[in-house]
């Protein structure tokens, strides 16, 4: 496996972890969610981060697929 494939594999794992964080976040109270958002470096929720991770993964996957 070359480094790009390895990165894509790790990004895929990351998307799964972010999805678990989002699920946990969704089960929190509003006050707990606010604490999480306030602690985030960019103030974004796990839902937003999940969407970004999946978008990044899908775009990279398409580029790698088209490269082969």
* pLDDT tens string 2-57: 999 999 999 999 999 999 999 999 999 999 999 999 999 888 889 999 999 999 99
Q: Compute the radius of gyration of the chain from its Cα atoms.
A: 15
pLDDT > 90? residue 68: no
pTM, rounded to two decimals: 0.81
Q: What is the distance between the alpha carbons of residues 50 and 4, in angstroms, rounded to a whole number?
A: 21
Helix axes 3-26, 46-67, angle to 10 degrees: 160
- Which residue do the tokens 């480094």 mark? 3
Q: Pick 61 or 41 by higher pLDDT.
A: 61
- Predicted pLDDT at 30: 96
Sign, Cα dihedral of 30, 36, 39, 45 = negative
Q: Are 57 and 15 in contact (CB under 8 A)?
A: yes
* Extents of the domains making up the chain: 3-67
- Predicted pLDDT at 1: 62
């Amino acid at each position: 496996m070359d480094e790009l494939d390895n990165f894509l594999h790790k990004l895929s794992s990351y998307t799964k972890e972010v999805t678990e964080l989002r699920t946990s976040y969704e089960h929190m109270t509003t006050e707990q969610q606010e604490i999480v958002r306030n602690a985030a470096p960019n103030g974004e929720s796990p839902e937003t981060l999940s969407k970004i991770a999946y978008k990044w993964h899908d775009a990279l996957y398409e580029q790698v697929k088209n490269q082969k």
